[in-house]
């Protein structure tokens, strides 16, 4: 990656707001409608359009997991995490995110670019980020662009010897900008609300765009239920569902106690996706002398009150139940850090599901996608999932206007 003072291409008409088919007069939540990746993992240059339900298909190595990883990385950066926390850990560190075939420039630098478009009250706001992975992990450029193509914020690495980027944002009137140094290991867009007073119309416009992007990015939950970790009793106090869903039993109990409507919808979803009759979902205290106060979840099978412990279910039924719960719940029940400063009605949770159809049969996949479409129509839950069965995904996309299909193998 050759680092320049302006590492980003100009915004094009492709970034116009996506059409809305909902005529209801209510504030639309901020949502990520496009994701862009360049020289990231196996993806050299890719734009991924996002609908309320987006399914990623393609063979092994096509980049399905990379798209989800890029979205989650932007979400974490939007939440204020440092580059090293997001990209610097794991085998290979930040270098592992750069394609092996990418050649360094004359200074030995290699990196990647990530970006997104966020639709909302401030229009279609575009965020672009250039990251240097070698020889040191740092931001080398960032740009925030309004829907009319005007650059609201830009940063550039002016002095490689300093751990900072030079930032500029509009402050008051045409041509008036504020300049400041910002850390080279953070997303500048996420820092703007702490640096901009909002005393002028231009500053308020910059703030509105930055806050829209940050709210949309932070409203993401990466979910990959692991049945092998979901069969042990859990503490009743463990009430925030983790991404691996190992504390499913405690969260099911909380849902049953706190929201009867949501619990009823979940029971109906489980009935549609699990074998045998399902009359209810319940919980029980496990007390065998070792696990005092621990909980397990149960399927109530019928009028005779026969109960099946959830740990007896197969991997597919466990994954299906966990994913249905995620789609029917919200940030207050998930282990995530939502934007507390924005009303829930102005947020749309995006569920990131790698291996969405793993261990599921065709019926379970159809039921789960049908549920995702219904929740997406309500405007507060979106789904971005990677699937292995491209044929089933194509059939679902054809039968439902709420499902978008992105084939990364093409």
Q: What is the CA radius of gyration of the chain?
A: 23
Distance CA 121, CA 208 (A): 8
Distance CA 355, CA 352 (A): 10
The reply to whether domains 28-219 and 232-340+349-399 share a CATH topology is yes
What pLDDT is recorded for position 13? 38
What pLDDT is recorded for position 11? 47
Given a contact cutoff of 8 angstroms between Cβ atoms, the answer to whether 87 and 185 are in contact is: no
Q: Which residues contact 346 (CB under 8 A, 6 or more apart)?
A: 27, 29, 30, 121, 215
Q: Would you tell me how many other CB atoms lie within 10 Å of the CB of residue 94? A: 23
All structural domains of the chain with their residue ranges = 28-219, 232-340+349-399
Distance CA 397, CA 325 (A): 22
What pLDDT is recorded for position 73? 97
Distance CA 341, CA 117 (A): 21
Q: Which residues of the chain have pLDDT under 70?
A: 1-27, 91, 173-175, 287-292, 303, 338-347
Cα–Cα nearest to 297, from 241, 251, 242? 251
Does domain 28-219 sit in CATH 3.40.50? yes
- Count of positions (residues) in the chain: 410
What pLDDT is recorded for position 171? 83
Indicate the fold that domain 232-340+349-399 takes in CATH. Answer: Rossmann fold (3.40.50)
Given a contact cutoff of 8 angstroms between Cβ atoms, the answer to whether 130 and 139 are in contact is: yes
Distance CA 251, CA 329 (A): 10
Give CA separation, 371 vs 63, 266, 274, 334, in Å: 26, 10, 14, 18
């Amino acid at each position: 990656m050759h680092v320049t003072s302006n590492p980003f291409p100009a915004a094009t008409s492709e970034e116009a707001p996506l059409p809305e088919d909902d005529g209801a007069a209510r504030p639309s939540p901020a949502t990520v409608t496009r994701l862009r990746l360049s020289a990231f993992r196996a993806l050299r240059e890719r734009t991924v359009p996002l609908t309320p339900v987006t399914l990623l298909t393609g063979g092994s190595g096509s980049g399905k997991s990379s798209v989800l990883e890029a979205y989650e990385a932007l979400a974490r950066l939007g939440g204020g995490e440092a580059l090293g926390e997001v990209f610097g850990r794991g085998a290979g560190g930040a270098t592992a995110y750069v394609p092996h075939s990418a050649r360094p420039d004359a200074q030995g630098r290699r990196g990647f670019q990530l970006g997104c478009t966020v639709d909302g009250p401030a229009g279609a706001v575009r965020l672009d980020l250039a990251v240097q992975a070698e020889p040191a992990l740092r931001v080398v450029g960032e740009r925030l662009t309004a829907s009319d193509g005007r650059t609201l914020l830009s940063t550039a690495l002016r002095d490689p010897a300093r751990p900072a980027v030079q930032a500029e944002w509009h402050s008051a009137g045409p041509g008036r900008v504020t300049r400041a140094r910002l850390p080279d290991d953070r997303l500048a867009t996420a820092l703007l609300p702490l640096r901009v007073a909002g005393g002028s119309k231009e500053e308020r416009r910059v703030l509105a765009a930055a806050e829209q992007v940050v709210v949309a990015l932070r409203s993401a939950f990466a979910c990959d239920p692991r049945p092998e970790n979901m069969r042990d009793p859990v503490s009743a106090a463990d009430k925030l569902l983790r991404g691996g869903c190992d504390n499913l039993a405690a969260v099911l109990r909380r849902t049953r106690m706190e929201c009867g409507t949501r619990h009823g919808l979940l029971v109906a979803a489980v009935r549609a996706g699990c074998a045998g009759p399902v009359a209810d979902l319940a919980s029980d205290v496990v007390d065998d002398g070792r696990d005092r106060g621990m909980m397990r979840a149960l399927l109530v099978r019928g009028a005779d009150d026969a109960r099946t412990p959830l740990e007896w279910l197969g991997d597919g039924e466990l994954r299906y139940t966990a994913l249905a719960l995620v789609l029917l719940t919200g940030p207050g029940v998930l282990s995530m850090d939502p934007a507390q400063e924005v009303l829930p009605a102005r947020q749309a949770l995006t569920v990131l599901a790698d291996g969405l159809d793993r261990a599921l049969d065709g019926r379970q996949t159809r039921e789960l996608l049908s549920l995702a479409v219904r929740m997406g129509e309500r405007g507060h839950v979106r789904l971005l999932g990677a699937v292995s069965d491209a044929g089933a995904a194509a059939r679902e996309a054809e039968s439902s206007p709420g499902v978008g299909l992105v084939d990364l193998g093409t």
